[in-house]
A and B are shown apart, each in its own frame.
Chain A
Amino acid sequence: LGCKKSLDINQSPNYPPVESATMETLFPAAVLSTAGRVGGDLSIVCGMWAQYWTQNNNSSQFRNVDTYDLQSASAFVDGPYTQLYAGGLYDYTTGLALANTSKNYRYKLMYTVMKAYTYQVLVDLYDKVPYSEAFQIGTILQPKFDDGYTIYQALIKDMDDALSKDYRTGPWTDEQRATDFVFGAEELKEVQFDYWEKFANTLKLKMYLRMVNAKPAEAEAGIRALYGANAKFLDISAQVNLFVNVPNKSNPFFEYNFRRLNTPDNLKASATFTSWLDKNADPRAKVYFGVDNPVPSINQGDYLNGSTHPEYNDAVNVVVKANDPVPFISAAESYFMQAEALERYFGGAGAKDMYDKGVAAAFAQVKITPPASLLVTYAYPATGNFETKLEAIITQKWASMFGSHGLEAFFEQNRTGYPKISAVYSDDPAYIPGQIVYAPNGVTGEGNFPRRFVFPDSEVRRNSNTPAAVPITTKVWWGK
């Protein structure tokens, strides 16, 4: 009947077949997934918990965040998870397989590091996530969850494997270089893979530092090994800096909160952060909040109290621009981590230098030259004890992670306890500027801060291997 042939018309004319996937097209897609979520809603949520900004009392978009009331089904919990797995990580995994098959060690390193970074974010947020059984489509529909430490070890091993290959020679076209949204810029042409190596080393450093509470011996061994091998760390930011003020092509924080919400005024300056900037007369206030003197601001999470705080109506706005980059690891962060590592394991030699470089990089990234007086204020407490130094390092790191890097500030607070938790609310005369306060409408009970995300709904409902629910206030495996 010849009908067999006439019925063979079921290849989609709208989408290319999966077999046509290449390393060159998967990588940029996957990096945008990571950047879109890490620098978008995750930074909005976790930056709220790091108390850079708070919910405007006259609107309600992020009230559930400012009350720590994020359920499994919340788009804040489920959305990033879904995109990072089904978007980012699956593309990294597929691209990595292609790189392995074709022995393209350049892409292998790029894919491995970005995959490790993305998993690290997920582990640090959700504590346990699927790893060993993830992406086994056809055989495993309900992957088991692995604990964070196991995943960390696997990621570090993967990076070591990628670093052990020859990723500096071999063909590499300008077109391929352009697919590298992190270090693919023309001016980095000669040093592109030096930077991927540094990114890998710095990411390993970050992961070892995360382990200092839970796995102190392993953390120390890992960091000593890095230094022993004379590892180079990032001196520029590993970031996506290609965003422009065009719809659908902007910084994700901007696109989400400023372009696509019904009002660009949902987020307002939190008194926690502005009080600290104000106390130090830090000129970054102008960049972060658009004004030299960021007052008035709203006490963190105090949106129901507008009637007794008429000044809340005039609270300053948060400034995130359409062309702001999304950092994965910033130069400042790299220096601050090195300072901490030197203090922890190497007697502090060179820590002050790294701290100063960190502060300088933090100002450089917002294109401000810090006044000399401020550098005195922020001077490294070289004579202080370890905790004093760590507090200075982490506090400066916190002050540098405003915007699309806010997620990391939340992690670091969970790891180190800095900025400190305040004994009183920020409207109390005894309040010490910059200390974290418990949001007055919090649903977790006074003093029970969010320390993680609960398991996302799309696993809870579709994967019977999802572990039993753990409250949002329980620290993740590496938490302090």
Chain B
Amino acid sequence: TVTSQEDKLPIPGVSVKLVGAPGGAVTGSDGKFAVKAPSSVKSIQFSFIGYITQTIALTSSSNVNVVLTSDSKGLNEVVVTALGVNRERKSLGYSSTVVNSEEINRAAPTNLAAGLQGKIAGVDISNTSGQPGGSSKVILRGFASIGGNNQPLYVVDGVPINNARPGGEAPVGSIGDLTDNYDFGNAANDINPNDIESISILKGAAASSLYGSRASSGVILITTKKGQSGKLKINFSTAASFTQVSIVPDLQDQYGQGWGKVNYIAENGSWGPKLDGMNRPWGSIVDGDQQTKSYSAVKSNFRDAFDTGKEFNNTLSFSGGNDNSTFNVSYGNVYSDGILPGKNDTYKRNSLTLGGSTKYKALTITGTANYIGKNTRSVQTGQATSGIGSSFYEDILQIPVDYPIKSFQDYNAKFNNVNDYFSPFSQNPYYSINENGSVFKSDRLYGNVDFKVKATDWLTMQFQQGADLNNIGVKLFNAKNAPIAGSWAGGGNDEAYNRQASVGNVVEGSERYFEYDSKLNAIFNKKIDSDFDLNGLVGMNFNDRGSRALYTGIENLAIPGFYSISNSANDPTSTNTETHRRIFGMYASATLGYKNYAFLTLNARNDWSSTLPTKNNSFFYPGANLAIILSQAFDLSAAKISLLKVRAAYGKTGSDTDPYRIYNTLQRANIPLGFGNIISPIGGVAGYSIADRLNNQNLKPEISTETEFGGEIKFFDNRLGIDATYYSRVTNNQILPIGVSPSTGYTTRVVNFGKVRNRGVEIAVTGTPIKTKDITWDLGYTFSRNRNVVLELPDGLTSVDLNSAYNARFVAKVGQPLGVFEAPVPTYDPQGRIVVGANGFPLVAPTNGEYGTSQRDFVMGFTNRFTYKDFSFSFTLDYRKGGVFYSGTADLLNFVGNDPKTLYNDRRTMIIPNSVRAVTGANGQVTYVENTIPISEANFNANYYTSQGLATAYQNRILDKTFLKVRDITLSYSLPKSVAKKIGSERATITAYGRNMFTWLPKSNRTIDPEVSNLGNDLASEFGEFRSGPSTRNFGLSLNLTF
């Protein structure tokens, strides 16, 4: 009998070979085998994929009992595949990556995305903000959907969960639209990473298609920790760390406060005279007083404006069980106070998980319930609504380089307060973080219950019901303030400027999300004969989900400091948004295995979606994949090859669209004015306008077709492994609103649109250069390169806008990658010289020029783990090369003269190099003559702002996106068992860790971490950022105890 070391169960299918003679056998389902051995045979070899091959010397006994030990690097890895079915990894005909709990939690991240960064080929994960609890952007194999959702589907224990980013449900521009200004985190980040046993990443269509239309951007399959039979196990992990700003803008240190080389004290910039280190008065003049300081750049000014934050992350779990029942309970708690002074950027999360399973005869019931309570306070990023309040990040960028930012921290003090603040063009940044803010609270419950009945030895029936309910309350508030007339900021300054009053506001919001998912499966697993076995499933799925958001707000507080909807002379305005969608699916999948080395899988799904027109709401998508383990079929041990597998897959995924894109609607009259709006009712009369989006009753589902080839090879007893994948995915008939000529009566229309192709390669290399009793050195390297190209656009359009800010546009163009930047460029004469106007400034060309794409050249990750006895040292590198992004931070820094790029030509009067002027002759002929008109040093600054310097401004605003980061770095020490035992512990590990400790940026971007964005976490955020906060790094200690 052959049994497994791990679970003591018999192993069927083990190959039994006689050494030195032909003949052999395969073990049966009970692990037994029989073989006739001639006397010349001295030993028998037992091999089974995923287990260490064993050779047993033959004794006279007729009974041989063999215990095989699994090879941890082998192939028996059972992976969770589509619909929660466990399959052996070897049988998969597509690339699949599994990351286990230890890898994820190495540096005590508070969300799972942070635990995956740099560790998986083909996965691009960004932290979009330094805000505690902020969102992550996870993109598998590049962007494919231009208008839809590119976020993967998150599935926990077989059940999809909600991954919404709160504040994204209400109409764009309404008071409930928080997308650009507040980041309360995407819902998948709620999950406590310590509760995760493993994560499987399904990137391609072949892998994910059974999940239906939501899986068209891939699936993140999360398996949570379960109780095991045996004695009670207690796990405690605790981590404490400090948070610091990581990347802050480099500021110039040559010129001080002022504008046009003059010390206009009221100016919010560094366009003043050259810094000379002399003691001089500075800042506002209050009651005839002015402060004095050295006229020199403040060192580390920006960085010192922030605090050191702290983060605590604890999890306590209990698990255990007997042969029939298991349970697990886990409580997790995160408290994080971010990098801003004060308590207005904090994140608290309490999570409680209860799980259990029990077996009665053929029935197994498994259930999990999770509660997550969150309380987040976030400060506003992006552009503040002028006249209501101000935003810290906008204000801090406008402080001159010689003004100590930190000195404004006491925002009520003389020189710093509302009346005295030196510039009427901006506000004291510390005012807004202390007086304005937000509170986000959510209570979320999700989980599932799963019934399995083993009907026969080859058939199991499964019913699974999942639910995910999230209740959110949001409050946003801005304080009312205005400088007193005649005070410094109230017009009593050297430029007689008045600061715009902030009237204050309060917004109360509630959001509710629900998702119910039911499925019924018949799972079969049948050995047909000694060569063939068949397994698979047939099932159906019903998914019902939606949201409700209601936001109400007032602006202009009657009583300052009191934040209630009733506290205003103005009537409150409200916006409510509901969405509801359903999808019904039927699917089947079957894998035919041949001799345990060739596996052919066929699968298909049909969906019926509520979001598509009734006539087109049914869509079918099949797939097939093949895996052949050549090393099993042929003996390759002589070549030191322990595994050689090739795989091929072809699959389709279908996708529906957002709700309510079929029928046309009216909308309440809301007239955008450019700045501000007029919103009905006016004069007590309601107005309704025909909505600007033309919906479409003929929509068809989006279909992606993906082909994937790959292989895996392992050498030297699995010490070196390479896994490579090539894929090509074409997405057809994408559904999205595209711009339409306004003279049709609409500004956008929803269409089935064009084609986008993503092609790429993913390579993962693993190696163990050293493996001795005391020392182990493991390496992992991943490389991915995705190339997407827009193959078709509708209606003969040459480009479609995806996003924009000021004059920069992020567009889709035929033949180009999805997401090309277009922005103003100078006019050039036929000889390529810049044409300037009468004032010497470059003239803007009539059409925009191209500034590159957001697409990266390639992405690489590198993991390293070195273990010596009880010590272990690891780090992960994440390198992303290429691509550009728009920076709203750079925009403001250029405008105010704080950016080092504004030091060009030492800011002296100059003629634009290589420039000409156009001269129109009497005959109308245009000729170009050398430009002799200088730009005076007093107006040098105008080169750097879009109003006068539009032609060249974008060169400094669209920046290189390349970076290299040390994602995590850890040093662990496992206490010797003897020592651990003394505290009653089975295992005790102490770890010093750092997350995002080091970041390298290219020379051309010294402004902001390209990962951050306040523009959401999907394609629109690839545009860049608009005055987001800086990224952060963490370093701390963690302790893991197992009892």
Binding site for B on A (CB under 8 A): 1, 3-4, 6-18, 20-22, 25-33, 35-37, 40-41, 58-61, 63-64, 67, 69, 71-73, 75-76, 79, 81-83, 85-87, 89-91, 93-94, 129-130, 133-137, 140-143, 178-179, 181, 242-243, 246-250, 252, 255-257, 259-265, 304, 306-307, 313-314, 440-443, 445-446, 456, 458-459, 461-464, 469
Contact = CB atoms under 8 A, between A and B. Distances in A.
Nearest to A11: B663
Contact of A7 (B503, B608, B746): B608
Nearest to B796: A464
B742 A249 contact: no
Contact of A29 (B614, B672, B689, B844): B689
Contacts of A242: 682-683
Interface stretch (B22-30, B524-532, B574-582, B849-857): B574-582
A94 B690 contact: yes
> Which secondary structure dominates where chain A touches chain B?
loop
Given A3-B584, A36-B671, A442-B838, A18 B689 contact: no
Given A10-B660, A40-B673, A260-B385, A28 B687 contact: yes
B747 A63 contact: no
B740 A248 contact: no
Contacts of A15: 660, 665-667, 691
Contacts of B745: 85-86, 89-90, 93, 134-135, 137
A22 B666 CA distance: 10
Interface in B422-467: 424-425
Contacts of B688: 16, 21-22, 25-26, 29
B830 interface: no
B409 interface: no
B578 A14 contact: yes
B77 interface: no
B795 A141 contact: yes
B708 to A, nearest CB: 32
B809 to A, nearest CB: 8
A12 B660 contact: yes
22 contacts: A7-B582, A10-B660, A14-B576, A15-B660, A15-B665, A16-B665, A18-B690, A29-B680, A32-B680, A32-B682, A40-B674, A58-B497, A61-B947, A71-B846, A90-B690, A130-B741, A141-B740, A252-B673, A261-B675, A443-B843, A461-B798, A462-B740
Contacts of A90: 690, 745-746
B747 A441 contact: no
Given A263-B499, A462-B797, 6 more contacts: A8-B610, A9-B580, A28-B669, A69-B950, A137-B694, A248-B573
B684 interface: yes
A3 B666 contact: no
A310 B196 CA distance: 67
Interface string B255-280: 00001101010010000000000000
Interface in B522-575: 555-556, 570-571, 573
Contacts of B386: 260-262
Interface residues of B, number: 103
A102 to B, nearest CB: 17
B838 A445 contact: yes
B677 A248 contact: yes
B687 A25 contact: yes
A454 to B, nearest CB: 8
Given A9-B580, A181-B683, A18 B741 contact: no
Contacts of B494: 313
B774 to A, nearest CB: 62
Given A87-B692, A134-B744, A248-B677, A264 B582 contact: no
B741 A58 contact: no
B744 A140 contact: yes
A58 to B, nearest CB: 6
Interface stretch (B105-113, B413-421, B869-877, B937-945): B937-945
A12 B675 contact: no
Contacts of B259: 58
Interface of B: 171, 259-260, 262, 264, 267, 385-387, 424-425, 494-500, 503, 555-556, 570-571, 573, 576-578, 580-582, 584, 608-611, 614, 617, 659-660, 662-667, 669, 671-680, 682-692, 694, 739-747, 749, 795-799, 807, 809, 824, 837-839, 841, 843-844, 846-848, 920, 938-939, 942, 945, 947-948, 950
Nearest to B586: A1
Contacts of B556: 247
Given A32-B682, A462-B741, A261 B938 contact: no
B725 to A, nearest CB: 36
A30 B671 CA distance: 9
Nearest to A242: B683
Nearest to A441: B839
Contacts of A458: 739, 741-742, 747
A259 B744 contact: no
Residue among B259, B499, B683 having the largest count of chain A Cβ atoms under 10 Å: B683
B666 A441 contact: no
A259 B688 CA distance: 25
Contacts of B847: 72
B385 A14 contact: no
Contacts of B659: 9-10, 12
Given A14-B578, A18-B665, A248-B677, A136 B687 contact: no
Given A7-B610, A263-B499, A461-B739, A248 B678 contact: yes
A462 B745 CA distance: 13
A85 to B, nearest CB: 4
Contacts of B267: 58
A89 to B, nearest CB: 8
Nearest to A264: B500
A459 B742 CA distance: 7
Contacts of B673: 36-37, 40-41, 252, 255-256, 260
Nearest to A308: B938
A319 B780 CA distance: 67
A461 B683 contact: no
Nearest to B686: A25
Contacts of A83: 671-672
B742 A86 contact: yes
Contacts of B674: 40-41, 75-76, 79, 256
Given A21-B688, A64-B950, A71-B846, A256 B744 contact: no
A247 B581 CA distance: 35
Contacts of A58: 259, 264, 267, 495, 497
Nearest to B666: A16
Contacts of A29: 669, 680, 687-689
Contacts of A35: 678
A53 to B, nearest CB: 16
Contacts of B581: 9-10
Given A60-B945, A83-B672, A461-B739, A28 B685 contact: yes
Contacts of B677: 248, 255
Contacts of B387: 259-260
3 nearest CB pairs, A to B: A29-B687, A90-B745, A29-B669
Given A6-B582, A21-B690, A314-B496, A459 B666 contact: no
Residue among B662, B688, B795 having the largest count of chain A Cβ atoms under 10 Å: B688
Nearest to A45: B674
Contact of B500 (A16, A26, A246, A261): A261
B690 A91 contact: yes
Contacts of B798: 461
Given A28-B685, A262-B500, A463 B948 contact: no
A255 B496 contact: no
Given A4-B614, A21-B666, A255-B678, A265 B584 contact: no
Nearest to A142: B741
A33 B671 CA distance: 6
A445 B920 contact: yes
A145 to B, nearest CB: 9
Contacts of B666: 15-18, 20-21, 25
